[in-house]
Amino acid sequence: MNTRDVVLVDACRTAFGKAGEKGFFWHTRADDMVVKVIRELLRRNPQVRPEMVEENIWGATTQEKDQGLTLGRTSAILAGLPVETAGCSVDRMCAGGMTAVTTAASEIALGACDIAIAGGVEHMGHHPMGATADPNPRFLAEKLVDPSALVMGSTAENLHDLYPEITKEMADEYAMWSQKKAAKAMAEGKIQRMLVPMTVYTKEGWVVADRDQQPRPDTTMEGLKGLRTPFRIQGKVTPGNASGLNDGAAGVLLMSMDKAKELGVRPRMRMVAYAYAGVRPEVMGLGPIPATKKALKIAGLTMDDIGLIELNEAFAVQCVVFCREFGLKTPDDPRLNPWGGAIAYGHPLASSGCRLMAHLMYLFEERPHVRYGMTTMCVGLGQGGTVIWENLQGPGV
């Protein structure tokens, strides 16, 4: 069977709210956030009529209540896609949205469909991490995993143990840069165009959620210094150098290159290769390293070929380790997260993979001479995922 080129045509997301009663999505359903993203992708791309969308795949870490009942199918119906549009849900925790995209892309590549919507959502307010999980007692009884593997912040403390030369100050410095880069990007209007505003009911009444709630543009090293270390007494991981607990949805529109040409749609980036890889669960933050090596090998590229890297910032320490592995300058390599990352914007688990893709899509537009970029992230219980993309917005394309 021959494979076909798959292109990303568009990407957008809701604003990311803070999880919990103070967050603007507290009274909003997760599936309604997904519907908002689907409808926005279609609104922005009128050449793609709803009946052309053959597949709708969504990732969520907790698949119950407003994130249950096969979200890919329910959201297709709720969004007004025709009954003929198929839909399914996938789960790879933080890489749920990324997995939705690579699954949909694989379908397109094999000719199972021409056009698909894929994305991820996580309402961490409605579904606190792991709250309803029931891990098999064998995990701990038979020492299959270290107990710390089940608490993501503890896995980040473990990384500090593994790399004692990475100090708390280095992690804080990385976090401060993420906030600064995000603040600059937001002030320059880079982020707003990715967002679909959503009118939501809050205790202040109806408001428009059109800006991320998490960023802290005034972050300073001094402010980060004294923060508590919730995962270990006298630890190094703090609320300032970790991603937050958030609500949000993000999605992308994918199609075959041929279909894009036929419809006259501008393809923004082509999927070159992707890979997932496992690591020890208690140091899950290492995941992007083997995933990236594997994806580069499949693509026949090296890190020197990659001009833009969108790395999900679950924890600052994990990003510093990634930078050291691949020879990137910390905390401010110009190729890495030029508009900041999850430490600033937040990390509604399964949605983050598609947020990274939205950033890369717009960054490619601003840097037309960059040919290749990547989106990469770590995953709970010890995995990493990396997707390599080619810029189709450059000269001569």
Catalytic residue set? 94, 347, 378
Beta strands in 30-131 (DSSP E): 55-59, 86-90, 115-123
Q: Which of 181, 293, 335, 347 binds ligand COA (CB under 6 A)?
A: 347
The answer to whether 288 contacts ligand COA (rule: CB under 6 A) is no
The answer to whether 197 contacts ligand COA (rule: CB under 6 A) is no
The answer to whether 380 contacts ligand COA (rule: CB under 6 A) is yes
The burial of 203, by beta-carbon neighbours within 10 Å (0-12 exposed, 13-18 middle, 19 or more buried), is given as: exposed
Q: Which of 50, 68, 197, 230 binds ligand COA (CB under 6 A)?
A: 230
Instruction: Point out which span in 98-106, 131-139, 218-226, 256-264 binds ligand COA (CB under 6 A).
Output: 218-226
Q: Provide CB contacts within 8 A for 396, sequence distance 6+.
A: none
Q: Please tell me the count of residues contacting ligand COA according to CB under 6 A.
A: 18
Q: Which residue is nearest to ligand COA (CB)?
A: 152
Spell out, one character per residue from 160 to 189, where the chain touches ligand COA: x when CB under 6 A holds, - when not.
Answer: ------------------------------
Q: Which of 72, 120, 215, 240 binds ligand COA (CB under 6 A)?
A: 240
Q: Please, what is the minimum distance in Å from the beta carbon of residue 223 to ligand COA?
A: 4
Phi, psi torsion values for 105, nearest 5 degrees: -65, -40
Beta strands in 91-168 (DSSP E): 115-123
Q: 306: part of which helix (H) or strand (E)? A: strand 306-311
How many of the other CB atoms lie within 10 Å of CB of 216? 18
Are 128 and 349 in contact by the 8 Å Cβ rule? The answer is no
The answer to whether 239 contacts ligand COA (rule: CB under 6 A) is yes
Q: Residue 152 in 3-state DSSP?
A: helix
Phi, psi torsion values for 93, nearest 5 degrees: 45, -120
The answer to whether 236 contacts ligand COA (rule: CB under 6 A) is no
* CA distances (Å), origin 1, targets 4, 20, 54, 58: 10, 48, 20, 26
Q: Beta strands 17-18 and 246-256: pairing type?
A: antiparallel
- Residue 16 or 372: the one with the smaller Cβ distance to ligand COA is 16
Helix axes 96-109, 352-366, angle to 10 degrees: 70
Instruction: Point out which span in 67-75, 242-250, 332-340, 364-372 binds ligand COA (CB under 6 A).
Output: 242-250
Instruction: Point out which span in 56-64, 70-78, 186-194, 215-223 binds ligand COA (CB under 6 A).
Output: 215-223
Q: Please, what is the minimum distance in Å from the beta carbon of residue 147 to ligand COA?
A: 16
* Gap between the Cα atoms of 16 and 214, Å rounded: 7
Are 325 and 153 in contact by the 8 Å Cβ rule? The answer is no
Q: Which of 34, 38, 57, 94 binds ligand COA (CB under 6 A)?
A: 94
119's tokens: 């994305």
- Residue 15 or 255: the one with the smaller Cβ distance to ligand COA is 15
Site for ligand COA in 119-138 (CB under 6 A): none
Instruction: Point out which span in 96-104, 200-208, 221-229, 325-333 binds ligand COA (CB under 6 A).
Output: 221-229
Q: Which of 87, 120, 153, 340 binds ligand COA (CB under 6 A)?
A: 153
The answer to whether 316 contacts ligand COA (rule: CB under 6 A) is no
Q: Which of 15, 121, 224, 250 binds ligand COA (CB under 6 A)?
A: 224
Q: Which of 314, 357, 360, 387 binds ligand COA (CB under 6 A)?
A: 314
> In terms of C-beta distances under 8 Å and separation of at least 24 residues, what long-range contacts does 64-68 make, across chains too?
64/127, 64/132, 65/126, 65/127, 66/29, 66/30, 66/31, 66/32, 66/123, 66/126, 67/30, 67/31, 67/121, 67/122, 67/123, 67/126, 67/127
Q: Residue 353 in 3-state DSSP?
A: helix
Q: Which of 135, 147, 223, 334 binds ligand COA (CB under 6 A)?
A: 223
- Residue 117 or 245: the one with the smaller Cβ distance to ligand COA is 245
126's tokens: 């409605």
The answer to whether 152 contacts ligand COA (rule: CB under 6 A) is yes
Are 298 and 305 in contact by the 8 Å Cβ rule? The answer is no
Q: Please, what is the minimum distance in Å from the beta carbon of residue 242 to ligand COA?
A: 4
Instruction: Point out which span in 237-245, 266-274, 297-305, 325-333 binds ligand COA (CB under 6 A).
Output: 237-245
Binding interface with ligand COA (CB under 6 A): 94, 152-153, 216, 219, 223-224, 227, 230, 239-240, 242-245, 314, 347, 380
